[in-house]
A and B are shown apart, each in its own frame.
Chain A
Amino acid sequence: MKRREFLKKSGQALTFAAATGAVGAFFHNRDPFNYHPHLSGTTEFGIAADSTYPGLTLAKDSDHVAALNKALDAIGGIKRFVKPGERVTIKPNIGWDRTPEQAADTNPLLVGEMVRLCKEANASRVIVTDITCHDPRRCFLRSGIRDSAEKAGAEVILPDDKDLLNIDLQGELLTEWPVLKYFIETDRFINMPIVKHHSLSACTIGMKNLYGVLGGRRHQLHQSIDQSIVDLAAYFRPTLIVVDATRVLFRNGPTGGSLDDVLIADSVICSTDQVAADSRGAEFMSLTGEKVGHIVLAEKRGLGKIDYRSAGYKEIL
């Protein structure tokens, strides 16, 4: 073997060996995997308190759109909550593959009207979305919400796992959870729940409706349902809560399925106080706020008042 050939071959082998070793050394890691926590987002959805308006309004009218307008006008009108150019995310309850009459999802007429009002207030973008329980395509369609919201000019977005952000909810129980990004990347958050029966939390109104922003293992939250609801309410603090009590699912909730489970109440509540809204809403279920675990806990946490009359209450009948 010639010297040149010896040097060349040895050089090749050594370079290959060195490269192999370098790759191993470069990727060497004592942790089992590379973990990059992906936390982002802040929530500043609330508006400054204004004592010229009542804290909670309730309107009753068999024309549900009129009921919404009356209740909203009494609390200051849409312009108080949505400023021109702002992004608005509306969160109805679209959890189940049910028709509007079955009252498991928010009344589509109210959602459509709310979208229209936000557009009228020159919102730059109005999104309607929810992480549903049943297949979202069915829920959005059968609830009538997709149709009414799209007609009014909203972007109706079906939830997609790829749109989840890991958020530190800074709660007493809930820490890092996947949240649909449209509830984070927005300026205004309008919570539009429906009043429903629920066997564990007694009722599903506004604060419980916030479960729908979460992806992941949310079925396990039931093991500490009151605390997890309050943690979500404390983090999100919606701009406005519009409670649909036009049809109330008073038993067999939250899915219902039979018209025998539905009570016609023709009422709409508007509130800036989540606790007050839920407390008033619970009365449609023959409950009071004091009897509902998560509403009591939310008041203790300082999220609002169970006595909804304390911050001004106006009824338009």
Chain B
Amino acid sequence: MTIATVRNLRRASQIIFFVVFFWLILKTNFSANFNPADPHEIRLPYPVSIALEFDPLTALGTLLANGTVYKGLLWSLVILIPTIFIGRFFCGWVCPLGTLNHWISEIPSERIKRKGKQKMDSNRYKRYQRIKYYILFFFLTAALMGTLQVGLLDPLPLLARSIGTVILPVIHTSADGVTGWIKSLGVPPLTAAAQFLYDLLAPLLLTFRKMHFHTILTIGSFFIAIIVLNRIFTRFWCRGICPLGAMLGIFSRFALFGLEKKESACNHCNECLLHCQGADNPDIGAVWRQSECHLCLNCQGVCPTQALSFKFFPSQEVSKSNPAGTAKIDISRRKVVASLAGGAALYPLFRSGDAFAANTNPYLIRPPGSVSESDFLARCIRCGQCMRVCPNNALHPTFMESGLEGIWSPLLIARIGYCEPSCTLCGQVCPTGAIVELTLKEKVGDKETPPNRLGTAFIDRGRCLPWAMARPCIVCEEWCPTSPKSIYLREETVYNSRGEAVTVKQPYVDPEHCTGCGACEFACPVKDKAAIYITSVGESRSSDNQMLLKKKKEIPQYNLRGNV
């Protein structure tokens, strides 16, 4: 196999993994197929979070934070173990964010810096590339202490989150907008063409209902920044920031596969430097850095004199003008200690905040089956899979609702969508067990099993039509999905503005039965700010955040599974 073939294989691999990743996110969506074995339970036809389960950093982070490698995360060894032998093939061949950065970086530019000598210089190893290791150490000790932040910068959750909550909704809005505008022109052939294209794309790219997400701008700007930086420094993210790249760099420390440089054959044309993705010094005269190399094989491919070749057990032809061999990772002990200490300090810094005394956010409603808040923050990687899969668009990334510590973790906003009683999809797709996979029985409960509760509904009597405005309504009671209903009505005679007696049915909440699903808040006709709303008190996942005195068996145990 020639090197040209291998490079083409690498390109094909990048395309395939990118497409598969994107496709899995598209399929992280409720498509109305029931499990044929159990017509009452709705399951996704594919294991859509599989791509995230291959992520070694997620596996390591969750292992440090909560002591287990959850379910499918064992797949990450499929990436990690080969890395030990051959190096960072993941970055050059597999990683979909790496691929995106690669493509964006390689778009031809008019800027002089991206050509010739400047480009050569920019592709030499730079000190800023050490930052990613410090970020990694910082996150890992933070995880060990109990706050899992790797997902913010881990490329797979980052890309899944950005595609799911930003890119796909933006595509949907654009498609609707453009089609609507073309139709408004009123030219029949154009309308037909637009409709045809729309119908062609809709099943592929668009959700059944257009999704809207909270704090889309923070996630979007972060993603755009990563993409734009590629135009200034080739693969800036991969070289300088990516903690997964850093982790794989460390794991490739003892790799058997590497670059062999033959000084005698080299004509110093520097083609290798012009095409280097990882800035790992492939040129003769500098020390090659295994931990920076993405194994894109461009250097070997473009070398006109066959001076460079990747092989197992590369021979090290050391001379004064060619300091061959593999350099140690370029990090200083002091800074490693500093980043470890910084990460360790992050946990007490976060957890000394008032939210961990009593001043919790009452509107922080977590998805059904979520583990207790402290465990949740040790598990959630903010991949956004639960938000993408929620058929009611109920789950959203937080901004500051769960503090800086929980940024972009899931939040249920009932005004936009309530939690469907018969749905357990968010737990099915969660790759880390922050949301436990519930059975339908655990979700809705029956005579023996208590239902999963997200919180409790409260009535704002100052805004409620029968309470404050002498008008009939009862929509909240109508929508309440529990049986018996958690909203009960009492007839009351009230007086309207003309002084006439009116009999209305005023709603009351029965906290004994309320599951906090938010259907009442969703349906309440007081449009801007609902007259009935849910807060988190009574949530199954917390043993503290309760108001009713309950028998012990009424507290479901599955939420504590991750805890023991």
A residues in contact (CB < 8 Å) with B: 96-97, 99, 133-135, 137-138, 140-142, 158, 198-200, 217, 219-220, 222-225, 252, 254-258, 260-261
A199 adjacent to B422 (CB under 8 Å) = no
Whole-angstrom distance between the alpha carbons of A202 and B391 in the complex? 31
A222 adjacent to B391 (CB under 8 Å) = no
B483 adjacent to A258 (CB under 8 Å) = yes
B92-126: contact bitstring with A at CB < 8 Å (1 yes, 0 no)? 00000000000000000000000000000000000
B460-488: contact bitstring with A at CB < 8 Å (1 yes, 0 no)? 00000100000111110111111111000
Whole-angstrom distance between the alpha carbons of A315 and B479 in the complex? 35
CB of B40 closer than 8 Å to a CB of A? yes
Q: Is the interface of B mostly helix, strand, loop or mixed?
A: loop
Q: How far is the CB of B4 from chain A (nearest CB, A)?
A: 49
CB of B510 closer than 8 Å to a CB of A? no
A261 adjacent to B483 (CB under 8 Å) = yes
Q: Select one of A134, A223, A225 contacting B465, CB under 8 A.
A: A223
Supposing A200-B472, A252-B484 touch, asked if A138 and B523 sit within 8 A by C-beta, the answer is no
Whole-angstrom distance between the alpha carbons of A217 and B478 in the complex? 15
- Using a Cβ cutoff of 8 Å, how many contacts connect chains A and B? 80
Whole-angstrom distance between the alpha carbons of A137 and B475 in the complex? 22
On chain A, the residues within 8 Å of B130 by CB distance are none
B residues in contact (CB < 8 Å) with A: 30, 32, 34, 39-40, 42, 208, 391-392, 420-423, 465, 471-475, 477-485, 489, 505, 523-525, 527
Can you sample 10 A-B contacts with CB below 8 Å? Answer: A135-B420, A142-B34, A142-B39, A200-B478, A219-B524, A222-B472, A223-B471, A255-B483, A255-B485, A256-B483
Whole-angstrom distance between the alpha carbons of A195 and B457 in the complex? 29
On chain B, the residues within 8 Å of A256 by CB distance are 483
Q: Select one of B208, B480, B527 contacting A255, CB under 8 A.
A: B480
Whole-angstrom distance between the alpha carbons of A198 and B34 in the complex? 29
A138 adjacent to B482 (CB under 8 Å) = no
Whole-angstrom distance between the alpha carbons of A289 and B420 in the complex? 35
Tell me the nearest residue of chain A to B418, going by C-beta.
A134
Q: Select one of A99, A135, A199 contacting B392, CB under 8 A.
A: A135
Whole-angstrom distance between the alpha carbons of A222 and B505 in the complex? 12
On chain B, the residues within 8 Å of A261 by CB distance are 483
On chain A, the residues within 8 Å of B471 by CB distance are 223
A220 adjacent to B483 (CB under 8 Å) = no
Quick one: which of A140, A158, A252 has the most chain B CB within 10 A? A252
On chain B, the residues within 8 Å of A199 by CB distance are 474, 477-478, 489, 505
Whole-angstrom distance between the alpha carbons of A142 and B423 in the complex? 12
Whole-angstrom distance between the alpha carbons of A200 and B34 in the complex? 34
Supposing A222-B525, A223-B471, A252-B483 touch, asked if A97 and B422 sit within 8 A by C-beta, the answer is yes
Whole-angstrom distance between the alpha carbons of A66 and B15 in the complex? 58
Q: Select one of B34, B474, B484, B525 contacting A220, CB under 8 A.
A: B525
A219 adjacent to B475 (CB under 8 Å) = yes
Tell me the nearest residue of chain B to A136, going by C-beta.
B208
